[in-house]
A and B are shown apart, each in its own frame.
Chain A
Amino acid sequence: MLDYEELGFKCGLELHQQLSGKKLFCNCNTELKEGNIVFTIKRKIKPVVGETGEYDIASEFESARDRTFIYQGYEGESCLVDVDCEPPKKMNKDALHTALSVAKFFKLRIPDTILVMRKTVSDGSAPSAFQRTMITGLEAKDSKIETSLGDVKIIQLNLEEDACKKIDETDNVVTYSLSRVGIPLLELATGPQIKTPEHALEVAKQLGMIFRSFPLVKRGLGTIRQDINVSIKEGTRIEIKGWQDLRTLPILIENEVERQKFLVNFKKFLNNREINTKPEDVSYLFKQTRSKIIYNLLKENGKVYALVLPHFAGWFKKEVCKGKTFGREISEYAKAHGTKGMIHSDEDLSKYDLTQEFVKLREHMKAGNDDLIVLVAEKEKMAVNAINAVLERAKYCLKGVPEETRVPNHFNATSSFARPLPGSNRMYPETDQESIKVNNGLMDEIYIPELISERAVRFEKQYNLNPDIARQIAKEYYEFEELTKGYKNVEPKLIAEILLNIPKDMKKRLNLDINKLTYDNYCELFSYLNQNKITKTAIVDVLTDMIKGEKINVTKYQNVSETLIENAIKEIVATNKGAPFNAVMGMIMDKYRGKVDGSRVAEIIRKNL
């Protein structure tokens, strides 16, 4: 176990939580069903010169990649506003109210006037090339949460538009879905008081629970995403964007710490030794190559560029963190320019049929045994861009950990280079929106809901539920309390049981598609129970019929009178002399399943045996 204090570990989270309802600045729905594609739009994003007369580094980087972005709009889920073909509509009031109530809950300082900003986005994930965002809460004296390892400050709450979801990416074309762009998103940032990766998990869980206590908050996979800021002593602040899997969050952070440690160690190893090599076009050395890929590429006027990295030999084989070699890490900078990757001398070259070529190459480039050779084979422009990116990155190894935005790889909890950290001048006013005065009138409409954790404790006592069930009901079923009030003759415990366990059990035992059950179905069931038209034993049968889409005829499950049951039992006992309890029970239940309460039947049998 690493000593995080010793490492100078600093970590803060940014949680992104989607809200349901309408989009933030238009009337499209936020259901993310992605049905029929109703329009497709192609865009180029141009780097825009900022206020200081310079291009933003991130957008310039993007522009050098010269990518085309395709946006797909879906029925009901995307309109002209999403593709910046129409000015934004008036802001969604429900989303604003939710943001303000979350801000109030965390005791953040709400600005007296909220101003909508445009934040420059250069990776195409916003068709307008900016994301609308606004501060709805700023750090204040008491804006914090208590955790097992001390307080963690809450430093900012923004309300903003979600970005597009990437659907596909080939060479220089990225396809995005427009269903997600514009969905209201709460962005909550913590201070850097997170002390260990496990602590980050605790904080994320607690914040997630709080978020989900607010009615408009979306639930389910992808509705909450974490950005993680991590640094260690001698490392640098790295932003990993869009982590979705809570369980493996600590591993992701550990891996980033390992990566930064590796880079710091490598810097120490290089010890300021210069890297003064240059990429070279070595295509002619490959004319006779046995490597099919390179042979074909050269035939199509591609180029092979080689670069010597002095003293790097052996290092590309090493793991920067669990599951990722340094070679792979560096190849991501080449890939950012559209290449499929790079080949280097720390690899098993026989798999490319390039062993001989590298021997020649080493001789030709006058590379020593300590030196590493990197090769990029692509169309000329792409090859040049990629090999230069590798060189620049390699040079940065002398300085340590480069500042950058990284994207996570969910399959192994590592991250990859995405783009340089954007500069500071990437925010300017959204002139199409009026500012929002946060006055008493507005704040009067803001209320803080009961937290899920508080609700669970209350349910446990008030409805006599066991703690586990109380917690789950509080978390997943807002309707529970309303149902207990609406169907007073049904025990709350039974309502909880029906909502929580019976359908799950039916799925497991009977393999039924319980997703077909609607809220109305449940209400119908509760109303039968409430009016005593059916007994508990009929619940599964009624639900089964509902799933099958059959018309519910309560007489089918109607209670059979006890006299009738008693007579039937007497008859069985008389005709089956000496039959054991279980046999009699079995025969009765076969005949009257769903219409009698098993425990009552058992009592009557015992009386009559």
Chain B
Amino acid sequence: MVKHSPGEKIQITTKEGEVFEGIFIPSTDKNTFIIKLDNGYNIGIDIKKIKSTKRISAGKKLNVFPSLNIKQSEGLPSVSVIATGGTISSRVDYSTGGVTRLMEPGQIFSLAPEISKIVKIRKIEKPFMIASENMDPDHWVKIAEETAKLLNSDDRGVLITHGTDTLHYTAAALSFMLKNLNKPVVLTYSQRSTDRGSTDTALNLKCSMHALLSDVAEVMLVGHAEASDSFCYGLRGTKARKMHTSMRNTFRPVNDKPLIKINGEGNISFISHNYNKRKDAEKVEVDTAFEKKIALVKYYPGADPCILDYYIGKKYRGIIIEATGLGHVATDNAKKSWLPAIKKAVKKGILICAVPQTLYGTLDPLVYDEGRKALEAGLLYLKDILPEVAYVKIGWVLGHTKNFEKAKEMMLMNYAHEFNDRITPDMFLF
């Protein structure tokens, strides 16, 4: 059989004498030949049934990630973008089934043309292009460095497009790594792919651009506030979490309220007034020292404490335990108490902290005996912090000190609003 290239117009004749014409689409299944018929439908023909194929014409080259040729307006405020991958900056290649990546401003404009009237996109940095589940702390460092570089230019702010799965980890990492933040840093995303007219991307991008022009010099996660295309929230980077596998309003504030509410027309209302103001003249510092021998462990009924022994053996320096309720793990009343392993870890100089697996609310070890016992064993209680944020924080803290007591002290310091001392009922399931 003749070899065909994607996009080529071909004709297939089967052994039974049927004739099909269409665009050749590469198939991942070697037993199936796929063509796109003139009416746009794809069909698969069993290779065994094909007698011959021939090329009719070269066909057209398909533009996979479309780009709008819009002249950028010089008079508009300039921003830069760091594209890291994820749904927002990728498109499925219709002809090969592969994924292609966002490369140029025209492609961003193709997602929301209105943006070209809000900002000028000076630069698009592409330090790497990966799905966010494939990221690790090295990627956070790279993003922090790129962000700092861009913030210290004339840009009004920096937009980071990112996959949703671990977006809140990156947001937390940037919150700790960018010191004396001078301008808005906005992370945004797309929950539903950009090929569809119902994509959330357009509103997210528009609101993000408006947020970049605001005076909120914070690391913010900007995206759909509701399932509807109504408006977006700007959420604090240390107090947001992905809470739904697929809904557009997946990111919710936990033990906090949003900082701002933004609509597509650029109207911003402030929900919190506790934020750092823009100081364009100042320079941001990047502080990326990070200890990677850290772990996030979930406690659950029957959980074997030998998991801690594993990390102790591997010479880990910090462990975050997602504890039940007000901060509990199995104690000496249980078959498998975690207390001996915790004590052993502490003795070895491993920083071992508890965070609430309930996510909402704050820990309190003093309410029940079990809590007091764990406290005595040396578990450090991290109040209302999110588990993922605690994981990032412990890496950052241990990157900065080798001193156990100092590290404990730093873990309890409120660097980036990761603790909220005043939790109100309206924050629950906000």
Residue ranges of A at the interface with B (Cβ–Cβ < 8 Å): 39, 41-53, 59, 80, 83-87, 109, 111-115, 117-122, 127-130, 133-135, 138, 140, 156, 158, 424-429, 431, 435, 437
Minimum Cβ distance to chain B for residue A47 (Å) = 7
Are A130's CB and B34's CB within 8 A? Answer: no
Chain B residues positioned under 8 Å from A85 (CB to CB): 192, 227, 246-248
Minimum Cβ distance to chain B for residue A78 (Å) = 12
On whether A84 and B29 interact (CB within 8 A), knowing A135-B41, A435-B44, the answer reads no
Are A426's CB and B40's CB within 8 A? Answer: yes
Residues of chain B from 173 to 226 with CB closer than 8 A to chain A in the complex:
192, 194-199, 202-203
Chain B residues positioned under 8 Å from A45 (CB to CB): 197-198
Interface-side segment among B64-72, B116-124, B269-277: B64-72
Minimum Cβ distance to chain B for residue A113 (Å) = 3
Are A51's CB and B94's CB within 8 A? Answer: yes
For B43, give its contact among A50, A53, A129, A138 (CB under 8 Å): A138
Residues of chain B from 16 to 44 with CB closer than 8 A to chain A in the complex:
18, 29, 32, 34, 36-44
For A53, give its contact among B67, B203, B229, B246 (CB under 8 Å): B67
Are B41's CB and A84's CB within 8 A? Answer: no
On whether A425 and B197 interact (CB within 8 A), knowing A51-B64, A85-B246, A113-B29, the answer reads no
Report Cα–Cα, A134/B44, bound state, in Å: 11
Minimum Cβ distance to chain A for residue B252 (Å) = 15
For A428, give its contact among B67, B94, B228 (CB under 8 Å): B94
Are A429's CB and B198's CB within 8 A? Answer: no
Given A48-B197, A52-B66, A85-B248, 9 other A-B residues pairs in contact with their CB atoms under 8 A: A39-B227, A42-B230, A48-B194, A86-B246, A113-B32, A113-B34, A114-B43, A140-B18, A429-B97
Cβ proximity bits B377-399 to A, threshold 8 Å, 1 near / 0 not? 00000000000000000000000
Chain B residues positioned under 8 Å from A427 (CB to CB): 36, 39-41
With most chain A CB atoms within 10 A of its CB, the pick from B39, B43, B46 is B43
A-B contacts, 26 of them at CB < 8 A, read A41-B227, A43-B228, A44-B203, A44-B229, A45-B198, A46-B199, A46-B202, A49-B66, A49-B67, A51-B63, A85-B227, A86-B246, A112-B44, A112-B46, A113-B34, A113-B44, A113-B46, A114-B43, A115-B43, A128-B192, A128-B197, A129-B197, A135-B37, A158-B41, A424-B38, A435-B44
> Which residue of chain A has the shortest Cβ distance to B28 in the bound complex?
A435
For A50, give its contact among B66, B194, B229, B248 (CB under 8 Å): B66
Report Cα–Cα, A348/B293, bound state, in Å: 85
B92 on interface, CB distance cutoff 8 Å: yes
Are A112's CB and B196's CB within 8 A? Answer: no
Report Cα–Cα, A133/B68, bound state, in Å: 29
Are B192's CB and A84's CB within 8 A? Answer: yes
Minimum Cβ distance to chain A for residue B53 (Å) = 15
Are A135's CB and B94's CB within 8 A? Answer: no
> Which residue of chain B has the shortest Cβ distance to A63 in the bound complex?
B197
Are A52's CB and B60's CB within 8 A? Answer: yes
Are A87's CB and B60's CB within 8 A? Answer: no
Are B198's CB and A127's CB within 8 A? Answer: yes
Cβ proximity bits B132-166 to A, threshold 8 Å, 1 near / 0 not? 00000000000000000000000000000000000
Report Cα–Cα, A118/B41, bound state, in Å: 9
Minimum Cβ distance to chain A for residue B198 (Å) = 4
B406 on interface, CB distance cutoff 8 Å: no
Are B197's CB and A130's CB within 8 A? Answer: yes
Are B197's CB and A47's CB within 8 A? Answer: yes
> Which residue of chain A has the shortest Cβ distance to B68 in the bound complex?
A49
B412 on interface, CB distance cutoff 8 Å: no
Cβ proximity bits B86-119 to A, threshold 8 Å, 1 near / 0 not? 0000001010010000000000001010000000
B348 on interface, CB distance cutoff 8 Å: no
With most chain B CB atoms within 10 A of its CB, the pick from A44, A85, A119, A425 is A85
Report Cα–Cα, A120/B197, bound state, in Å: 8
Query: How many residues of chain B get a CB closer than 8 Å to chain A's CBs?
Result: 45
Report Cα–Cα, A113/B27, bound state, in Å: 11
For A129, give its contact among B38, B196, B227, B248 (CB under 8 Å): B196
Report Cα–Cα, A492/B354, bound state, in Å: 76
Chain A residues positioned under 8 Å from B41 (CB to CB): 115, 117, 133-135, 158, 427
Chain A residues positioned under 8 Å from B32 (CB to CB): 112-113, 435, 437
Report Cα–Cα, A556/B84, bound state, in Å: 82
> Which residue of chain B has the shortest Cβ distance to A422 in the bound complex?
B40
Minimum Cβ distance to chain B for residue A432 (Å) = 9
B54 on interface, CB distance cutoff 8 Å: no
Are A425's CB and B40's CB within 8 A? Answer: yes
The 3 closest A-B CB pairs, nearest first, are A113-B44, A129-B197, A427-B40
B62 on interface, CB distance cutoff 8 Å: yes
Report Cα–Cα, A49/B113, bound state, in Å: 11
Minimum Cβ distance to chain B for residue A148 (Å) = 29
Minimum Cβ distance to chain A for residue B117 (Å) = 15
Report Cα–Cα, A109/B46, bound state, in Å: 13
Residues of chain B from 207 to 265 with CB closer than 8 A to chain A in the complex:
227-230, 245-248
Report Cα–Cα, A120/B199, bound state, in Å: 13
B306 on interface, CB distance cutoff 8 Å: no
Chain B residues positioned under 8 Å from A121 (CB to CB): 197
Minimum Cβ distance to chain B for residue A61 (Å) = 13
Are A118's CB and B34's CB within 8 A? Answer: no
> Which residue of chain B has the shortest Cβ distance to A156 in the bound complex?
B39
B45 on interface, CB distance cutoff 8 Å: yes
> Which residue of chain A has the shortest Cβ distance to B38 in the bound complex?
A424
B15 on interface, CB distance cutoff 8 Å: no
Report Cα–Cα, A128/B192, bound state, in Å: 9
Chain B residues positioned under 8 Å from A424 (CB to CB): 38, 40
B49 on interface, CB distance cutoff 8 Å: yes
Chain A residues positioned under 8 Å from B64 (CB to CB): 51
Are A53's CB and B199's CB within 8 A? Answer: no
Chain A residues positioned under 8 Å from B43 (CB to CB): 111, 113-115, 135, 138
On whether A429 and B228 interact (CB within 8 A), knowing A46-B199, A48-B195, A118-B196, the answer reads no
Are B228's CB and A112's CB within 8 A? Answer: no
Minimum Cβ distance to chain A for residue B67 (Å) = 6
Chain B residues positioned under 8 Å from A127 (CB to CB): 198
On whether A48 and B44 interact (CB within 8 A), knowing A41-B227, A53-B66, A85-B246, the answer reads no
Report Cα–Cα, A431/B195, bound state, in Å: 11
Report Cα–Cα, A511/B265, bound state, in Å: 60
Report Cα–Cα, A128/B193, bound state, in Å: 10
Chain B residues positioned under 8 Å from A41 (CB to CB): 227-228
With most chain A CB atoms within 10 A of its CB, the pick from B49, B67, B197, B230 is B197
> Which residue of chain B has the shortest Cβ distance to A430 in the bound complex?
B42
Chain A residues positioned under 8 Å from B46 (CB to CB): 112-113
Chain B residues positioned under 8 Å from A84 (CB to CB): 192, 196, 198
Are A428's CB and B198's CB within 8 A? Answer: no
Report Cα–Cα, A427/B36, bound state, in Å: 10
Are A111's CB and B202's CB within 8 A? Answer: no
Are B227's CB and A83's CB within 8 A? Answer: yes
On whether A111 and B198 interact (CB within 8 A), knowing A46-B112, A84-B192, the answer reads no
Report Cα–Cα, A115/B33, bound state, in Å: 12
On whether A128 and B63 interact (CB within 8 A), knowing A85-B247, A111-B44, A424-B40, the answer reads no
> Which residue of chain B has the shortest Cβ distance to A71 in the bound complex?
B228
> Which residue of chain A has the shortest Cβ distance to B64 in the bound complex?
A51
On whether A42 and B228 interact (CB within 8 A), knowing A48-B196, A128-B198, the answer reads yes
Report Cα–Cα, A133/B39, bound state, in Å: 12
Are A428's CB and B45's CB within 8 A? Answer: no
Report Cα–Cα, A47/B114, bound state, in Å: 12
On whether A117 and B40 interact (CB within 8 A), knowing A49-B66, A129-B198, A130-B196, the answer reads yes
Report Cα–Cα, A128/B194, bound state, in Å: 11
Report Cα–Cα, A85/B97, bound state, in Å: 23
Chain B residues positioned under 8 Å from A435 (CB to CB): 29, 32, 44
Chain A residues positioned under 8 Å from B68 (CB to CB): 49, 53
For A122, give its contact among B63, B197, B229 (CB under 8 Å): B197
Chain B residues positioned under 8 Å from A87 (CB to CB): 246
Minimum Cβ distance to chain B for residue A162 (Å) = 17
For B197, give its contact among A52, A59, A135 (CB under 8 Å): A59
Report Cα–Cα, A431/B42, bound state, in Å: 12
